[in-house]
Amino acid sequence: MSRHLVRAPAKINLGLKVLGTRLDGFHNIQSIFQTIDLFDELLFEPVGQEGIEVVCDTLPTGQENLVFQAADAMWKLGRPENGIRITLTKGIPVGAGLGGGSSDAAAVILSLDSLWQVGLSDVQFLDVAESLGSDVPFFLQGGTALVSGRGEHIQFVDWSENFHYVLVYPNIEISSSWAYQNLRIGLTGSSVYSRFLHSVEDSGNCCPDSLLACLENDFLPLVEDNFPVVGRVLDELAQAGAVASSLSGSGSALYGVFRDQSQAQKALVRLRSLGYPVYHCHSWRKNIDVSGGLLPE
């Protein structure tokens, strides 16, 4: 086995509805997920002794780490002769609702299936992914998809637009467990966004313009009430000319959608001048590449 370098993409939620708590303790959701060109990197290196080693400068690397958990699950299925060292370099902000940990876990599953020649079936891939987290199954393929249930129902859709996303990390981490515990789901009628998602489910078509016209994230009022910086960033994005803006997942990352590159660039410069980490991103249609990252010994 040779050394391999793999990039794991982030995702944004183009809207998010939380429908209620399930019997298993998770929540049913509806959302449009889209991978974007913001990445973590994972370097896979064989080691002589048996075992799993995860190296990361910014995160705990023990059994609480999703990369370790994914590697351990694949170890039990593949029983390789040699151990593995996985060096994780974070490019995706932590606690931002961008799915970095889930994407990393999917990258580990796909990479070790190839590197260790485990030969998982499609059903096994999904079983392992679901055991690690609700968003992990989506990242096995990536792209743009209507995601529902706890994340296990995934309907991929075509996406032809190449919008400019100005992604802003407002220098706060938000725990998804805190967000779900504090979210109050009202008994409101069907929203325009909900009706749009139902039309996507029925037709298999997702019109980007119609989606942007009705973006809705149930976590946004909660996060904005507790973190005033969120409202300030959204105001900056709107003033810069964003055709839509919202929160990704349960936060804390915010994004503005721009059609014009120059407007997006001006927004990026303005928000960076205010001290926020800002990223200029686009949709990312490619799968996690587990074959093209061969490195010299």
* Total structural domains within the chain: 2
> What is the predicted pLDDT for the residue at 296?
42
Global pTM reads 0.93
Span 268-293, mean pLDDT?
A: 84
Q: Based on the fold, state whether residues 179 and 143 are members of the same structural domain.
A: no
Whether the upstream peptide bond of residue 252 has omega within 30° of 0, thus cis, is yes
Span 270-293, mean pLDDT?
A: 83
The DSSP result for 11-80, as a single string, is EEEEEEEEEEE-TTS-EEEEEEEEEEEEEEEEEEEEESSSSEEEE-SSS--STTSHHHHHHHHHHHHH--
What percent of the chain stands above pLDDT 70? 94
**Residue 55's domain is classified under what CATH number?**
3.30.230.10
293: pLDDT strictly greater than 80: no
User: How far is Cα 31 from Cα 16, in angstroms, rounded to an integer?
Assistant: 5
Kindly state the DSSP code that residue 261 receives in the 8-state scheme. Answer: H
Residue count of the chain: 297
Within 8 A by CB and 6+ apart from 3, the residues are 43, 44, 45, 46, 294, 295, 296, 297
Is 192 part of a structural domain of the chain? no
Confidence of residue 74 (pLDDT cuts 50, 70, 90): very high
Q: Based on the fold, state whether residues 10 and 150 are members of the same structural domain.
A: yes
Domain holding 113, by residue range, is 4-156
Handedness of CA 169, 175, 176, 182 (dihedral sign): negative
228-255 tens-digit pLDDT: 999 999 999 999 999 999 999 999 999 9
Is 233 part of a structural domain of the chain? yes
> What is the predicted pLDDT for the residue at 49?
78
**Residue 256's domain is classified under what CATH number?**
3.30.70.890
C-alpha atoms less than 13 angstroms from C-alpha of 179 in its C-beta half-sphere: 25
Question: How far, CA to CA in Å, does 192 sit from each of 55, 207, 210?
Answer: 45, 14, 10
174-223 tens-digit pLDDT: 998 899 999 987 655 579 999 999 999 999 999 999 999 999 999 999 99
Could you give the residue numbers annotated as active site?
11, 135
User: How far is Cα 220 from Cα 261, in angstroms, rounded to an integer?
Assistant: 26
Q: Any bridge partners for residue 258, and if so which?
A: 164
